[in-house]
Amino acid sequence: MYSQIAMPILAPEVPVAIPGVGSQEIKLAEERLHAKFSNTFRINYDLDRSLVSFQANKRQSGYRWYKYKEGFSAELIRYILGGLQLLSGRILDPFAGSGTTLFVASEMGLDAVGIELLPSSAETIEVRNLLHLADKPYIASALRQFKNSLPWQEAGESKKFQHLRITAGAFPSDAEFELGRYLHETDMVDDPVLRRVLRFAAMCVLEEISYTRKDGQYLRWDHRSGRNAGKKPFNKGQIVPFTHAICEKLDQISSDLVGGDRLIPDEPLIAKEGRGDLQLGSCLELLPKMQANSFDALVTSPPYCNRYDYTRTYALELAMLGLNEEQVSALRQTMLSCTVENKEKQALGAAFDAKQFRESMAAFESQELLQLILGYLDRCRDEGELNNNGIPRMVRNYFKELTVVIFECVRLLKPGARFVMVNDNVRYQGVHIPVDLILSDIAQKAGLRTEAIWVLPKGKGNSSQQMGEHGREELRKCVYVWSR
């Protein structure tokens, strides 16, 4: 597939002059690394930003129920698996998200194993798995019956929503009352599968009925919430009434289960449907427990090095699932370091083979460009130039932890197996961080060969703050194809 895609020589993303000491060293190191992988760059005109995001899932049965903004689309996974002829065997996704890799691989006949730490994402996968095995016509009929009877609009008890500090006041009072009535009525449902699906439907509409909008690093609050809106008040537009939102969601789920565009077709497109397996927890703890040479492919998209805090973005969902302040704080520190609040994981190497861990740390420490960038960011921090002093620590730990993950995944892959990763390049304090090149170089030290770095025809701009201080620079959005 990708052998037919044009292979232009792409210029390095380093600006002509990076402020501060060491700019020339960074520029030259990036040019050397770029030259090393220049023949692997391929602008892939089959890919666009909607495909390499959740956008293309909005109209797809099953995938459209829950808005997981950081995920990739089912169409992208079909493209990858079909184009690379990954049509049998076992596939691994160590950052499973809402389960797109697992479900698409299973639909195409592969056995899939996913690891996911975020409880709201894991709930999405588990509910879809439950529905896969359930009596779908019965569940669809029961959902419609519950919706049509509107039991939450009758007088009765209301279940209190157990807010976290950062979610307090997230709902208009009438929406929170109706949500509480709805949750109480779902608790009265005898069938455990139906009860869980009804609660899942409520989780899917929390953002829609709230004053908040998911915005990467945090929840953005509408000015009508009464919270301090800052210099530029935010208006998210219509805040959907609870009854309207939940009725639409219940209709959507029931329609997908038995409608014309079915989640599980009557006549499968494949002779064998693969088996999906979700493991709950951190891949840093679970990967070492898996058998070596046991996977035929790996497709994943880890959190990006972009300061996104999933525990804040999905705080409403975590609160509804019953997590308290201490559990959310622990979850934030357990996740791959991608936010400035992440501290160094002191026991990072405890679960891994000692020799392999030493080799992974040597690969991390010897990556020339990365170490120069880290030195530059450290100097910017010491000189008070960063808007958050946690940025150097976050970048350092992000690459350190991903290096460990890459080395461990190589152990799990069979010889010749493909390792496909979706990730973004980033920029801090005027310096580009070419994540694609740095990780490809580390992957090579782990025993992987870079077959291709698919570059989307249109990249992404840096943040408004970065543009204001350092000018607009388009950054590559890429899919890496490595092989063992």
The predicted pLDDT at position 218 comes to 79
Which two tokens mark 116?
């996911």
Angle of the 173-187 helix axis to the 192-204 helix axis, nearest 10:
170
The tally of domains found in the chain comes to 2
Q: Is 157 exposed, middle or buried (0-12, 13-18, 19+ CB in 10 A)?
A: exposed
Co-location of 349 and 428 in the same domain: yes
Co-location of 72 and 155 in the same domain: no
Co-location of 146 and 68 in the same domain: no
Co-location of 239 and 165 in the same domain: yes
CA dihedral 207, 209, 212, 213 (to 10 degrees): 50
What is the full DSSP assignment across 116-128? E--HHHHHHHHHH
pLDDT tens figures, 233-253: 889 999 999 999 999 999 999
**Where does a domain end: 241, 258, 275?**
258
Quote the domain boundaries for residue 433: 2-131+265-483
Q: Which residue has the tokens 């170490």?
A: 371
Which residue type does 24 have?
Q
Co-location of 204 and 235 in the same domain: yes
Region 443-453: what's the mean pLDDT?
97
**Where does a domain end: 231, 258, 285?**
258
Phi, psi at residue 453, to the nearest 5°?
Answer: -115, 100
Question: Is pLDDT of 464 > 90?
Answer: no
Co-location of 15 and 100 in the same domain: yes
Q: Rounded to an integer, what distance in angstroms lies between the CA atom of residue 45 and that of residue 22?
A: 36
Co-location of 182 and 283 in the same domain: no
Which two tokens mark 444?
């090579």
Question: Is pLDDT of 170 > 50?
Answer: yes
Residue 393: CB partners within 8 Å, gap ≥ 6? 337, 340, 342, 343, 344
Co-location of 244 and 219 in the same domain: yes
Using pLDDT thresholds of 50, 70 and 90, give the confidence band for residue 57: low
pLDDT tens figures, 293-341: 999 999 999 999 999 999 999 999 999 999 999 999 999 999 999 999 9
Prediction pTM value: 0.90
Region 375-401: what's the mean pLDDT?
96
Co-location of 101 and 21 in the same domain: yes
Co-location of 339 and 471 in the same domain: yes
